[in-house]
């Protein structure tokens, strides 16, 4: 890009998390120089595949944890329950406050949750899935805690 080219590109895609705009500009420069434009490794197809694998791994992790929770009758203490509650509620809180966080990161540009859904659907789906798995895990831990507590208390 040492040819002092001025390239202006207008996109009507809106705010998209997985579009590598610099790769598009570099591709245009390469085409203008008579070279072949190389596809970028960071493209939306690869990123969506990574997010799908992450969502699938989250679901498998949740099912595995749910199945094996009843097998291990580990004593659930109140400290472990409070710590687990805080950690389990983080994805749900992140999903709930995603719009203000995006406004803070985006320099004050307020994007409602529907706009974030249009811009980053796989991120919103991932946060929803991990929130569901975490809250289900938390409910199971509370159930196990009260079940073990009920068994140990004298009548």
Q: Note whether 66 and 13 are same-domain residues.
A: no
Q: Note whether 72 and 102 are same-domain residues.
A: yes
Q: Note whether 48 and 32 are same-domain residues.
A: no
User: The domain containing residue 8 runs over which residues?
Assistant: 1-42
Helical (H) or strand (E) element with 145: helix 121-152
pLDDT in tens, 33-50: 788 877 777 777 787 888
Look at the chain and report how many structural domains it folds into.
2
Q: Note whether 28 and 72 are same-domain residues.
A: no
Q: Note whether 63 and 118 are same-domain residues.
A: yes
Q: Note whether 107 and 147 are same-domain residues.
A: yes
pLDDT in tens, 1-24: 456 767 777 766 555 555 667 777
Give CA separation, 119 vs 27, 44, 115, in Å: 23, 12, 6
The whole model's pTM is what?
0.68
Q: What is the pLDDT of residue 18?
A: 58
Q: Note whether 112 and 137 are same-domain residues.
A: yes
Q: Note whether 31 and 73 are same-domain residues.
A: no
Q: Note whether 104 and 138 are same-domain residues.
A: yes
Decide if 94 contacts 128 (C-beta within 8 A).
no
Give buried/exposed letters for 106-117 (b at 16+ CB in 10 A, else e).
eeeeebeeeebe
Q: Note whether 69 and 21 are same-domain residues.
A: no
Q: Note whether 26 and 92 are same-domain residues.
A: no
pLDDT in tens, 100-135: 888 887 777 777 878 788 777 888 889 999 999 999
Q: Note whether 36 and 84 are same-domain residues.
A: no
Decide if 76 contacts 139 (C-beta within 8 A).
no
């Amino acid at each position: 890009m040492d040819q002092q080219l001025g390239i202006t590109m207008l996109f009507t895609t809106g705010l998209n998390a997985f579009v590598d705009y610099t790769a598009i500009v570099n591709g245009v420069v390469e085409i203008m120089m008579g070279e072949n434009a190389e596809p970028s490794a960071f493209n939306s197809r690869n990123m969506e595949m990574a997010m799908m694998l992450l969502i699938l791994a989250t679901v498998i992790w949740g099912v595995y944890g749910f199945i094996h929770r009843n097998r291990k009758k580990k004593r659930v203490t109140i400290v472990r329950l409070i710590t687990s509650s805080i950690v389990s509620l983080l994805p749900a809180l992140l999903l709930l406050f995603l719009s203000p966080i995006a406004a803070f990161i985006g320099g004050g540009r307020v994007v409602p949750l529907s706009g974030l859904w249009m811009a980053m659907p796989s991120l919103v789906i991932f946060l929803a899935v991990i929130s569901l798995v975490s809250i289900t895990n938390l409910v199971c831990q509370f159930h196990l805690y009260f079940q073990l507590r009920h068994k140990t208390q004298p009548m």
